Chains A and B, each alone.
Chain A
Amino acid sequence: MWNAFWQYIFIFLLLMVIAMPLGAYMYGAFFRKGAIDRFFSPVERVIYKLSGLRSQEEMSWKSYGAALLVVNVILLGLSYGLLRVQHVLPLNGGKAENMEPTLTFNTVISFMTNTNLQHYSGESGLSILSQMAVITMMMFTSAATGLAVAIALIRALSQKGKTIGNFYQDFVRANVRVLLPLSIVVTILLVAFGVPQTFSARMTVSTLEGGVQTLALGPVASLEAIKHLGTNGGGFFGANSSHPFENPHPLTNVIEMLSMWCIPAALPFTYGYAVKKRKQGWVLFATMFVLFILMLGVVYKAEQAGNPLFGKWGLTTDGGNMEGKEVRFGIPLSSLFTAITTSATTGSVNNMHDSLTPIGGLVPLALMMLNNVFGGDGVGFVNILMYAMIAVFLSGLMVGRTPEFLGRKIEPKEMKLIVVALLVHPLIILAPSAFALMTHMGTEAISNPGFHGISQVVYEFTSSAANNGSGFEGLKDNTPFWNISTGMVMLLGRYLSIIAMLAVAGSLVKKQPVPETAGTFRTDTATFGVILFATVFIIGALTFFPVLILGPVAEYLTIR
């Protein structure tokens, strides 16, 4: 146990060492004119010139949202076309076939929405060109889209005006100033530890037994870098980050974990700088971190305890539950990976989540249901801000003032928009889950009927709704029903809340902030951290309490 403890402490410290300066860097990159600006401007000017995008014009939330959707739709269309004809395009050494329509639908949405739910297997289903031009490209653009939304909302909370910035500028800056430089660093680190980076798709080797084996290869390291930095999670190979070419070494494991965690963890600090209240950022970070630690504790403890059935059959559970885990990572780093990948809604996996113990499996599920414990690049931070506004709204009245967040009153108009984002998440998880469990189309995909079956189905939709993309696997999900239903859920989960929160930003930015006085509800105190925690727990978690009871908890209780 102490071994795990120190490993965790080491990684947490590394996270802080990365996230705090990264937060400051992103503040500089998006909000200030300075050295960062001068360094990247020439490159960006070329991009604006080539693309014809105008970066100077300030946008209302409507034009910002429209620009976001247009860019996303265009990329979606291009990608759909590419995947449908990849067979005849170059760089197809692995002879990948054209993708089937519903699977293509699911795949392009999956990557555009930062979900990366994969109903295909990368080794056989995609050409090298598709991996690069579709998968890797979308990994950048979807993460940049999310970051842009967060930056727009932070901007709305830190200044007063009529506009929330320029989408093209935020989008290009997110790519050029944040994602690209970080990806280059991470790619090099990964290559150094043995992750392949090549244009050749296949390699034939003779094994020790004298047999012949074909190994799938490709530009893995570069994809792996943005896969994690962009909280994307879609693997080059079907086995994702448990595959030895994607994640060969405990250190690459650490690099990948920190890569996916660093941007979501840095955004509270960026926010703290932007609103000129560093403590405010710390409170949000601390609240998310406490939630994270609790969840991590549960999954680690559950996995370490092992499968109780083993005990009944007279087998030892001393080693904990190693089913579905890689020996090179062990229980501590597998548990941590699971917690990070679902809290940061990346969705890459280094172990089989379907094989987690029932309570261990509850943790990734719960983290995705909350969707605000760090969360995906940008959107996770937008979610925790949304919960902060709800927390302010519910308890802010208790100081005898109508609720305000950073001096901006939360009124019916904002509330109407916030509740859209609040309502959509449980709706698109529970409704399709219920439908799937009611119909043959849904139930036939379940590999383990009973309580675990509920977990499998709910996991699939939760992962889609939270734009996480990890699979519980075990679910036979490459059918038109699952391709289309999860596709719809991913779209709604991504864009409805993005548009609603951009509208909130548009409304907040116009408000004259009320100056802070002794009577102001302070949101940069430990008290507020506790209130935020309780709000997330009661509003976010209790919604899913019944289904968690019937799924993982019932499974746990019945095999105990």
Chain B
Amino acid sequence: MREKNPRQSLLHPELVREAAIESIKKLNPFVMMRNPVMFVVEVGTLMVLLMLLFPRFFRVEDWTYELAVFFILLFTILFANFAEALAEGRGKAQAESLKKTKADTIAKRIGAKGEIEQVPSTQLRKGDVVLVEAGDLIPGDGEIIEGLASIDESAITGESAPVIKEAGGDFSSVTGGTKVVSDWIKVKITADPGESFLDKMIALVEGASRQKTPNELALNILLVTLTLIFLIVVVTLVPIARYVGIQLSTTTLIILLVCLIPTTIGGLLSAIGIAGMNRLTQFNVLAMSGKAVEAAGDVTTLVLDKTGTITFGNRMAAQFIPVGGATEEQVREAAVLSSVKDETPEGRSVLELAKQQGWQGEMAKYDHEEFVPFSADTRMSGMNIQGVPYRKGAVDAISHHVKQLGGRIPSDLKEKSEQIARQGGTPLAVSVGADIVGIIYLKDTVKPGMRQRFEELRKMGIKTVMCTGDNPLTAATIAKEAGVDEFIAESKPEDKIRVIREEQAKGNLVAMTGDGTNDAPALAQADVGLAMNSGTMAAKEAANMIDLDSDPTKIIEVISIGKQLLMTRGALTTFSIANDIAKYFAILPAVFVATIPQMKAIDILHLHSPASAILSALIFNALIIPLLIPLAMKGVRYRPMSSEKLLRRNMLIYGGGGVIAPFIGIKVIDLVLGLFM
């Protein structure tokens, strides 16, 4: 997966230091209560601490053992807190840099009578109109109501090239904190202070407004239940064991409980969620909620615009077609000559196609020839070479041009150009002097790699639907070329929302991208709506994700990130629970062996001593949390493949690994402890 802004590495010293401090602050029981699993560990730790403080009252025999247990338990909690703090810290660092752009500016508010008054940007309210001139920071989110300006949005997007925004249309919205580079605009403010896009963004990356997602909630319910079940197991074990003469110490019971409850996933769960959001932010996509990221993983249908998403949108030369008696070489030559100095995308695409076809002319030798640029009047462009006009342009314009020069119209021109039009292409006629030599077939081109992307999506079980205004024939051609599953031809904006509703009624979860105001309802209806930052405020408000780079194809990566987040959560949950088998086999014989020597038989790990066995299990339980932090942060590796293969692979690694790893880990720790005990 490509990373847009390679920011700090995972273990940047500054971040680690901050996280370490945070993890101690998070020991506050009222904070811990939000995480019931770790809260149980904290209560256990406090109980051991009490025993250490009042050894006589609790009849503690060997305080060094209790002390060791206390510290291991404390570190278990600290490790979990550290994971969360580390994940949060990375967001905070991003938020800091955003906050800098939020510094108060002085706005030029236009009063009712047209007078300009200087007010701090914090005093602006919805509906105020401000003037922003070259060099000013835009004081708040709004719509341009008058003027046109180039705006530097790098503060938000990281992209340094300015963008042009103007009143009316889909490019009229501006974001507070961005800078007008040239010209001036009048902006109608659309957000009160504290509710602006930048404010929301800061809150998002800081994690301040983070709420548990539905899946996290459900998982938490299960984790709490498992904790309760093991609490019952441990508490009831006391009288049952006493019946056969085994007195279990409180410390032992606390250890048993802590080892059995799912501390690994309990400790890492929120870090996984935050890290998932962070991965998205690093990718320059802002998710309005964790729920949206989760939904992205669940997407089964992807509704995409053709233009700009699947294809480049601008038309490119695809073929040179001779008419009359001309040869293809002649057409190519004429097309090239008419385009040498043409800097439009179409013009450049003609040169590219010619080169691809083996044309090897010298461009420099035409440097002094006269270039005739495109004008709305003539609707053609070209070059006069030694007095001979080389032209390309719309078929009727060129026809008109040669007729004026006294030329004839080749008989097959009409038929051939109509054929191109039928296929969704645009024909450009090319003339040399008074002769039309051929046609350039301009075609909308599918972006490279899209086919493969859609192939991957299919493997992930995601259906792609292409929406286009083209006629069915053109749409079918592009759909086939790009490899999308379905297409909607001649679609109007309201068709999108219809398609989304239909898909949803079938039970599908739908993702779509959009930027225009008329996309807003569809963006709101979709389960995952990715709005382009370049789009209108209405679209951004309606969407639950915003792509700061305004690259609609990114929706595919967003889906991958969503899936990766869910997979990471599942993998660590499975791992955590599978760990219990080994822990039981380490602890239970150790606990009972003093009274029932024969219990040695189920000590299949042959651990050094009961005390070392119990401590080893507890140490393993604590250490596994920091060991898994990198995995929680980066996410498990994800490559598109069928769910069955994915499941088998992950089950083997995290399920199988979860069973085996603790056996090895506990044995190794025990060997080390054995040297000291």
Please give the residue numbers on chain A whose beta carbons come within 8 Å of chain B beta carbons, in ascending order: 390, 393-403, 407, 410-412, 414-416, 419, 422-423, 426-427, 430-431, 433-435, 437-438, 443, 450-451, 453-454, 458, 512-515, 517-522, 525, 527, 530-531, 534, 538-539, 542-547, 549-550, 553-554, 557-558, 560
Is B434 at the interface (CB under 8 A from chain A)?
no
Does B237 lie within 8 Å of A451, measured CB to CB? no
Are A550 and B592 CB-contacts (below 8 A) given A454-B240, A515-B508, A525-B644?
A: yes
Name the contact of B218 in the complex, choosing from A415, A443, A518, A534 (C-beta under 8 A): A415
Does A422 lie within 8 Å of B225, measured CB to CB? yes
Q: How many B residues face the partner with a CB closer than 8 A?
A: 74
Does A514 lie within 8 Å of B509, measured CB to CB? yes
Measured between alpha carbons, how far is A554 from B238 in the docked complex, in Å?
A: 16
Measured between alpha carbons, how far is A536 from B241 in the docked complex, in Å?
A: 25
Does B584 lie within 8 Å of A398, measured CB to CB? no
Does B222 lie within 8 Å of A437, measured CB to CB? no
A557: which B residues are within 8 A, CB to CB?
Answer: 596, 598-599, 601-602
Interface set, chain B 238-258, CB cutoff 8 A to A: 238-244, 246
Interface set, chain B 135-162, CB cutoff 8 A to A: none
Shortest Cβ gap from B402 to chain A (Å): 56
A545: which B residues are within 8 A, CB to CB?
Answer: 584, 588
Does A399 lie within 8 Å of B646, measured CB to CB? yes
Does A547 lie within 8 Å of B240, measured CB to CB? yes
Contact with A along B622-662 (1 / 0, CB 8 A): 00000000000000001000111011101100110000000
List, sorted by A's number, 6 A–B pairs whose CB atoms are closer than 8 Å: A402-B298, A403-B215, A412-B214, A434-B236, A443-B243, A517-B461
B228: which A residues are within 8 A, CB to CB?
Answer: 423
B240: which A residues are within 8 A, CB to CB?
Answer: 430, 433-434, 437, 454, 458, 546-547, 550
Measured between alpha carbons, how far is A519 from B564 in the docked complex, in Å?
A: 13
Name the contact of B573 in the complex, choosing from A397, A399, A422, A453 (C-beta under 8 A): A397
Q: Which residue of B lies closest to A422 (CB)?
A: B225
Measured between alpha carbons, how far is A556 from B316 in the docked complex, in Å?
A: 82
Does A423 lie within 8 Å of B229, measured CB to CB? yes
Are A527 and B592 CB-contacts (below 8 A) given A434-B239, A514-B300, A515-B508?
A: no
Measured between alpha carbons, how far is A400 from B577 in the docked complex, in Å?
A: 19
Name the contact of B602 in the complex, choosing from A403, A407, A419, A549 (C-beta under 8 A): A549
Is B10 at the interface (CB under 8 A from chain A)?
no
B646: which A residues are within 8 A, CB to CB?
Answer: 398-400
Name the contact of A515 in the complex, choosing from B222, B232, B244, B507 (C-beta under 8 A): B507
B598: which A residues are within 8 A, CB to CB?
Answer: 554, 557-558, 560
Measured between alpha carbons, how far is A435 from B239 in the docked complex, in Å?
A: 8
Q: Which residue of A lies closest to B587 (CB)?
A: A546
Does B229 lie within 8 Å of A399, measured CB to CB? no
Does B241 lie within 8 Å of A550, measured CB to CB? yes
Does A419 lie within 8 Å of B222, measured CB to CB? yes
Does B654 lie within 8 Å of A430, measured CB to CB? no
Is B610 at the interface (CB under 8 A from chain A)?
no
Measured between alpha carbons, how far is A512 from B218 in the docked complex, in Å?
A: 19
Are A426 and B233 CB-contacts (below 8 A) given A411-B218, A515-B300?
A: yes
Are A527 and B648 CB-contacts (below 8 A) given A433-B240, A451-B244?
A: yes
Does A512 lie within 8 Å of B244, measured CB to CB? no
9 residue pairs, one from A and one from B, having the closest CB atoms: A519-B461, A397-B570, A400-B563, A517-B461, A557-B598, A434-B236, A518-B461, A398-B570, A419-B225
Is B221 at the interface (CB under 8 A from chain A)?
yes
Shortest Cβ gap from A544 to chain B (Å): 8
Is B594 at the interface (CB under 8 A from chain A)?
no
B654: which A residues are within 8 A, CB to CB?
Answer: 398
Is B326 at the interface (CB under 8 A from chain A)?
no
B214: which A residues are within 8 A, CB to CB?
Answer: 402, 411-412
- Most-contacted residue by chain B among A395, A399, A431, A454 (CB, 10 A): A399
Is B347 at the interface (CB under 8 A from chain A)?
no
Is B459 at the interface (CB under 8 A from chain A)?
yes
B567: which A residues are within 8 A, CB to CB?
Answer: 397-400
Does A394 lie within 8 Å of B244, measured CB to CB? no
Does B222 lie within 8 Å of A415, measured CB to CB? yes
Is B109 at the interface (CB under 8 A from chain A)?
no
Does B581 lie within 8 Å of A538, measured CB to CB? yes
Interface set, chain B 545-578, CB cutoff 8 A to A: 562-564, 566-567, 569-571, 573-574, 577-578
Are A534 and B215 CB-contacts (below 8 A) given A393-B222, A394-B574, A423-B228?
A: no
Is B462 at the interface (CB under 8 A from chain A)?
yes
Summarize A's interface: helix, strand, loop or mixed: helix
Measured between alpha carbons, how far is A438 from B298 in the docked complex, in Å?
A: 51
Is B451 at the interface (CB under 8 A from chain A)?
no
Q: Which residue of A lies closest to B643 (CB)?
A: A399
Name the contact of A522 in the complex, choosing from B236, B508, B602, B644 (C-beta under 8 A): B644
Does A434 lie within 8 Å of B563, measured CB to CB? no
Known A-B contacts: A527-B648, A547-B237. Give 17 more (CB < 8 A). A394-B577, A397-B567, A430-B232, A431-B236, A434-B238, A437-B239, A454-B240, A518-B460, A519-B300, A519-B460, A519-B461, A519-B462, A519-B642, A522-B643, A542-B580, A550-B244, A554-B598
Measured between alpha carbons, how far is A422 from B655 in the docked complex, in Å?
A: 21
Name the contact of A538 in the complex, choosing from B461, B571, B578 (C-beta under 8 A): B578
Is B506 at the interface (CB under 8 A from chain A)?
yes
Is B667 at the interface (CB under 8 A from chain A)?
no
Is B207 at the interface (CB under 8 A from chain A)?
no
B650: which A residues are within 8 A, CB to CB?
Answer: 398-399
Measured between alpha carbons, how far is A420 from B350 in the docked complex, in Å?
A: 70
Does B458 lie within 8 Å of A518, measured CB to CB? yes
A414: which B residues are within 8 A, CB to CB?
Answer: 218
Is B297 at the interface (CB under 8 A from chain A)?
yes
Name the contact of A554 in the complex, choosing from B217, B244, B463, B655 (C-beta under 8 A): B244
Name the contact of A394 in the complex, choosing from B232, B562, B570, B592 (C-beta under 8 A): B570
A450: which B residues are within 8 A, CB to CB?
Answer: 244
Does B574 lie within 8 Å of A518, measured CB to CB? no
Interface set, chain B 155-174, CB cutoff 8 A to A: none
Does A531 lie within 8 Å of B655, measured CB to CB? yes
Is B16 at the interface (CB under 8 A from chain A)?
no
B225: which A residues are within 8 A, CB to CB?
Answer: 419, 422-423
Does B569 lie within 8 Å of A520, measured CB to CB? no
B644: which A residues are within 8 A, CB to CB?
Answer: 522, 525, 527
Measured between alpha carbons, how far is A133 from B508 in the docked complex, in Å?
A: 53
B112: which A residues are within 8 A, CB to CB?
Answer: none
Is B515 at the interface (CB under 8 A from chain A)?
no
Is B505 at the interface (CB under 8 A from chain A)?
yes
A527: which B residues are within 8 A, CB to CB?
Answer: 644, 647-648, 651
Shortest Cβ gap from A294 to chain B (Å): 16
Does A549 lie within 8 Å of B222, measured CB to CB? no
Measured between alpha carbons, how far is A431 from B239 in the docked complex, in Å?
A: 10
Does B506 lie within 8 Å of A515, measured CB to CB? yes
Q: Which residue of B lies closest to A430 (CB)?
A: B236
A531: which B residues are within 8 A, CB to CB?
Answer: 651, 655
Is B294 at the interface (CB under 8 A from chain A)?
yes
B509: which A residues are within 8 A, CB to CB?
Answer: 514
Does A517 lie within 8 Å of B462, measured CB to CB? yes
Is B226 at the interface (CB under 8 A from chain A)?
yes
Q: Which residue of A lies closest to B212 (CB)?
A: A412
Shortest Cβ gap from B617 to chain A (Å): 14
Name the contact of A410 in the complex, choosing from B218, B294, B562, B643 (C-beta under 8 A): B218
Does A398 lie within 8 Å of B243, measured CB to CB? no
Are A454 and B243 CB-contacts (below 8 A) given A434-B238, A512-B505?
A: yes
Q: Which residue of A lies closest to B595 (CB)?
A: A554
A435: which B residues are within 8 A, CB to CB?
Answer: 239
Does A396 lie within 8 Å of B570, measured CB to CB? yes
A412: which B residues are within 8 A, CB to CB?
Answer: 214, 217-218, 221
Measured between alpha carbons, how far is A398 from B219 in the docked complex, in Å?
A: 13
Does B244 lie within 8 Å of A454, measured CB to CB? yes
A437: which B residues are within 8 A, CB to CB?
Answer: 239-240, 242-243
B460: which A residues are within 8 A, CB to CB?
Answer: 400, 518-519
Name the contact of B300 in the complex, choosing from A395, A517, A546 (C-beta under 8 A): A517
Does B215 lie within 8 Å of A402, measured CB to CB? yes
Contact with A along B442-471 (1 / 0, CB 8 A): 000000000000000011111100000000
